[in-house]
Amino acid sequence: MGNYRFILSGGGTGGHIYPAIAIANELKRRHPDAEFLFVGAADRMEMEKVPQAGYRIEGLWISGLQRKLTLKNLMFPFKLISSLLKAGKIVTKFKPDAVVGTGGFASGPLLKVASGRGIPCVLQEQNSFAGITNKLLKNKVAKICVAYDGMERFFPLEKIVKTGNPVRGDLVETNSDQSVAIDFFKLKNDNPIILVLGGSLGARRVNQLIEQQLPFFKALGAQLIWQCGKLYFEEYKKYESEDVKVFDFLNNMNYAYSAADIIISRAGAGSVSELCIVGKPVVFIPSPNVAEDHQTKNAEALLVEDAALMLKEKDLEDQFEKVFKELYESKEKQSQLGENIKRMAMPHATSQIVDEIDKLILKK
């Protein structure tokens, strides 16, 4: 294999950044002499997360359109022109053999420029409802790697490859002993454990629900591993106790998943893909505040397979206790959901995406 050069672009949220990093890591494993460059939005979290993962990144002056008329929207044409010009300079200087876009606004200008110059481009779409940037690029790229069926609604069928979403390698490789994981969190072996995941920053409504339901969980005899997120840790750490363990961020996710009997989670694409591999019963509470309500659509793709439960935020007050108690008290239902969600797992997604990239560079 030659000394290849790859540009990866995606960002704005962890859901776009972490898949890009996972793909880069697999490319690096296969092509140790390859050179890598990430391109992101200049003021977003990728500018911090990508260098932490050991890769160089350049930022574009780009942001999304707001849903209402704002000063930011008036600036959008100028940002777009600036980003297209800078993307052109980056591509000219770096001379990539292939470009990978994982969604987010920064990937738009970069893949538009690269595809226009005949450079092989691959899109990776994490969600069951395609993002706006990827929809705009669909006719420009060679391949589109997706995680859900039915994506021909958004993309040309002949370009689609169903690979699944990249997940952390330790999840695929590690299946920790549950009793070891329970000891790690200093919890008891004899009471069921609920794992609450609101994302790395946290989810206000999920945290409010858990705070409100602490007496309910106590009455059930449940223990909690509660990742409230770094934005909310100071507010909720007071609930730490023998049966409730509160974290801003969980560094040992494999232990957290192993310890859990039931999981309550947001329905971001990365979380859904991880939870399929974990194979435990899940209650999804989708965020209603994301583009095109894609978290609800991600969860619904599992609901139709009887692979998870879902509660919308607006229904939590009325329905949470009833729905959760029924699941908590039915080992049969827990087992059924766990088996069904596990069936939807695609643990080799990263490798399959890189297979597609390799095919394109070899063809070139």
Q: What is the pLDDT of residues 268-279, one digit of tens each?
A: 988 999 999 999
> In the prediction, which pLDDT does 74 show?
62
161-195 per-residue burial string, b: 16 or more CB within 10 A, e: under 16: eebbbbbbeebbeeebebeebbeebebeeeeebbb
13 is in an annotated binding site: yes
Residues 196-239: pLDDT tens digits?
998 766 789 999 999 999 999 999 999 999 999 988 999 999 99
pLDDT of amino acid 168: 72
Is 163 annotated in a binding site? The answer is: no
- The pLDDT value given to residue 76: 63
User: Please, which pLDDT band fits residue 49 given cuts at 50, 70 and 90?
Assistant: confident
128 is in an annotated binding site: no
Q: pLDDT value at position 169?
A: 66
pLDDT at 69: 56
Is pLDDT larger for residue 315 or for residue 176? 315
Please enumerate in sequence order all residues whose Cβ is within 8 A of that of 351, keeping only pairs 6 or more positions apart, or say none: 26
CATH among 3.40.50.2000, 3.40.50.410, 1.20.58.100, 3.30.300.30 for 5-167+347-363:
3.40.50.2000
Amino acid at 43: D
> What pLDDT band is residue 177 in, cutting at 50, 70 and 90?
confident
Sheet holding 244-247, edge to edge: 244-247, 223-227, 193-197, 262-265, 282-284, 309-310
The mean predicted confidence, pLDDT, of the chain is 90
Domains 5-167+347-363 and 170-342 alike in fold: yes
Q: Among 52-61, 195-204, 281-290, which range has the highest average pLDDT?
A: 281-290
Question: Is 350 annotated in some ligand binding site?
Answer: no
At residue 340, the pLDDT reads 97
Mean pLDDT throughout 271-290? 93
Name the band, by pLDDT with cuts 50, 70 and 90, for residue 61.
confident
39 contacts 90 by C-beta, under 8 angstroms: yes
Q: Tell me, what's the pLDDT at 71?
A: 61
Q: Which of 54-63, 223-232, 255-264 has the lowest mean pLDDT?
A: 54-63
User: What is the structure's pLDDT at 10?
Assistant: 86
Of 173 and 187, the one with more pLDDT: 187
pLDDT value for 334: 98
10 known ligand binder: no
What's this model's pTM, rounded to 2 decimal places? 0.84
* Most confident segment among 36-50, 99-113, 115-129: 115-129
256 contacts 250 by C-beta, under 8 angstroms: yes
Q: Are 265 and 285 in contact (CB under 8 A)?
A: yes
> If pLDDT is split at 50, 70 and 90, which confidence band does 2 have?
low
Give percent above pLDDT 70 in the chain.
Answer: 91
pLDDT for 240-251, tens place per residue?
A: 999 999 999 888
Does 63 show up as a binding residue in the annotation? Answer: no
- Architecture in CATH for domain 170-342: 3-Layer(aba) Sandwich (3.40)
14 annotated as a binding-site residue? yes
Provide CB contacts within 8 A for 323, sequence distance 6+: 283, 309, 311
Over range 59-82, report the average pLDDT. 64
| pLDDT over 90 (residue 253) | no
Q: Which pLDDT score, from 0 to 100, does residue 77 have? A: 65
| 8 A C-beta contact, residue 274 and residue 168 | yes
> pLDDT value at position 157?
97
Residue 99 predicted with pLDDT over 90: yes
Domain boundaries, the chain: 5-167+347-363, 170-342
User: How many whole angstroms separate alpha carbon 361 and alpha carbon 364?
Assistant: 5
The pLDDT assigned to 307 comes to: 97
**pLDDT tens profile 144-173:** 999 999 999 999 999 999 999 998 766 655
